[in-house]
Amino acid sequence: MLYGTIFVAGLVISLIAAGMTYRAYCQNRNAGSLRLDTPLSVNEEMYVSIGGIDQWLQIRGENRNNPVILVLHGGPGFSYVPFTPAFQSWEKHYTVVQWDQRGAGRTFGKNGKGRSGALTIERMAEDGLEVAGFLQRHLKKEKIILFAHSWGTILGIPMIAKRPELFSAYIGTGQIANMSRNEVASYSLIMDQVRASTDQSALKTLESIGAPPYKDLKTWMIKARMAVMFAPPSASGRQLPNMFGTALTTPGYSLKDGYDLFAAFDFSSTQLYTEMMTYDAAQYGTEFKVPIIIIQGDNDLQAPTKLAKEYFDSIKAPKKDYVNLKGEGHTAVLVLGDVFLTELLTRVGR
């Protein structure tokens, strides 16, 4: 019996060691593919004091003289640092900044629940403006391009409304205009997909929670998971990378960083749920002083395209463009980086 226990323990230890060795191999391989070694390249990672707490920035590009793009990640609370390869093609033409927002990624890991402060849309939009100001000074740029995805669009609109002089353009994808209407329309689209799938178990689950609004995050997450599970496949044939595998093999990421990536999503969603569900972009007006480009997948189940287009049609800006990505969904930017780059170069330039 003792020998059997020792054998099993040894086997488990060997498997863990093999897994860790393979993980280190993947991290080193990925680091090699992301290497920046041109004479003018910039590759910086740092904590910066923003809004009274340390917040994490990753700054990458092949030429520090290129325009700067600040990416507002989705979630809330889900860092896009592990998705750096999705934005790698941009780095030839732009300096790309990934910011772990208050309550996200390494910012959450550094501060934890106790030192993150109150998470509100206003507070986090102010954080974003501080980040933009820091990038202006640090990278010696007059203006910053703002790129927002999903939850990030909820921060991006108030940012350009309050301090338009900081930004040369706003690009939104998975654009959210009004969460109340958004959720009702999203539920209807998801229900259509579930019915078409003939998955009776999923249909019963979706029917049991009913249409929004939902009183708690737990119920909303059921709908959110359904949106992911039943999203139509990308017309491009490309698939979103496995998030757990991506987190484990991100260069420089510790196991704690991987844990924090997902713990932060739970923390931020819990903190922001009630306010997020009342968000209405109309409160920031319909006239903007910044060019606005919206790039939207027409199969987006989470930020329905119809509402994004209605919002686009309602606003005024010095320049505005709407790009319809046929056959693509909510996470198109994370699988079609090259397509988005083409649109950036066409609509925004260098």
What pTM did the predictor assign? 0.93
Write down the mean pLDDT value for the chain: 92
**Residue 210, number of CB atoms within 10 A of its CB:** 11
Q: What is the pLDDT of residues 24-62, one digit of tens each?
A: 778 778 777 888 988 899 999 999 999 999 999 999 999
Q: Which CATH superfamily is domain 41-183+227-347 in?
A: Alpha/Beta hydrolase fold, catalytic domain (3.40.50.1820)
Which H helix or E strand runs over 48?
strand 42-50
**Residue 94 CB contacts under 8 Å (≥ 6 apart), including other chains:** 61, 66, 67, 68, 69, 145, 344, 350
Amino acid identity of residue 22, one-letter, is: Y
Q: What is the pLDDT of residues 72-86, one digit of tens each?
A: 999 999 999 999 999
Q: Which backbone phi and psi does 192 adopt, to 5 degrees?
A: -60, -45
Does residue 90 contact residue 112 with C-beta atoms inside 8 Å?
Answer: no
Confidence at residue 20, expressed as pLDDT on a 0 to 100 scale = 64
Beta bridge pairs of residue 170: 146, 292
Q: What is the pLDDT of residues 157-172, one digit of tens each?
A: 999 999 999 999 999 9
Q: What is the pLDDT of residues 252-311, one digit of tens each?
A: 889 999 999 999 999 999 999 999 999 999 999 999 999 999 999 999 999 999 999 999
Mean pLDDT of 183-201: 95
Sheet holding 320-325, edge to edge: 42-50, 53-61, 95-100, 68-72, 144-149, 167-173, 292-297, 320-325
Per domain, the residue ranges of the chain are 1-33, 41-183+227-347
